[in-house]
Amino acid sequence: MLRISSTLAIPLDEVELSAIRAQGAGGQNVNKVSTAIHLRFDAAASSLPESCVAAVLARRDSRISAEGVVTIKAQRFRSQAKNREDALVRLAELIAECCRPRKARRPTRPSLSAKRKRLDKKQQRGTLKAQRRPVRRGEE
């Protein structure tokens, strides 16, 4: 089981892990050994609660496809075991972030003193601009 939170876990048989060759520098080790891990998790067909599945599908993230498949590539370490652990941790963090309930937004209003200050500044700015205007002779 992959622990997401104290109340949420997903079975590891829903997570598809495959070893691939890592990219980038690393010399002969990169060319010979498949140390990177390619993780695929189908959130839509998983045992996650409906609210979590909806949150994962609604999240705008390049790792999540339109069908709800989460794809994570882990190649941070030279060891396949460490990359496997890293991929699972990153999946757990992603799902935990999606399933965390959002704090409700309470609409706020500017205080009376803030309104007063804003209007005073507008008045001062208008006065300053009026002083920049050329003085017209003969008009009064």
Across the range 1-15, mean pLDDT stands at 80
- CA 108/CA 115 separation, integer angstroms: 13
| 16, 40 contact by CB (below 8 A) | yes
Across the range 46-51, mean pLDDT stands at 81
Nearest to 14 by CA among 75, 95, 81: 95
Q: Is the pLDDT confidence value at 122 over 70?
A: yes
- Please check whether residue 95 lies inside any domain of the structure: yes
- CA 95/CA 117 separation, integer angstroms: 45
- Please check whether residue 125 lies inside any domain of the structure: no
- Please check whether residue 41 lies inside any domain of the structure: yes
Domain range spanning residue 34?
A: 2-99
- Please check whether residue 94 lies inside any domain of the structure: yes
Q: Is the pLDDT confidence value at 126 over 60?
A: yes
Chain position carrying tokens 């390049």: 62
> In this predicted model, what pLDDT tens digit does every residue of 75-87 receive, in sequence order?
888 888 899 999 9
Give the CATH number, domain containing residue 75. 3.30.160.20
The predicted structure's pLDDT at residue 114 = 96
Q: Calculate the average pLDDT of the chain.
A: 85
- Please check whether residue 38 lies inside any domain of the structure: yes
**Helix, strand and coil percent figures for the chain, each rounded to 5:** 40, 15, 40
The count of structural domains within the chain is 1
- Please check whether residue 131 lies inside any domain of the structure: no
- Please check whether residue 107 lies inside any domain of the structure: no
35 vs 118: which has the higher pLDDT: 118
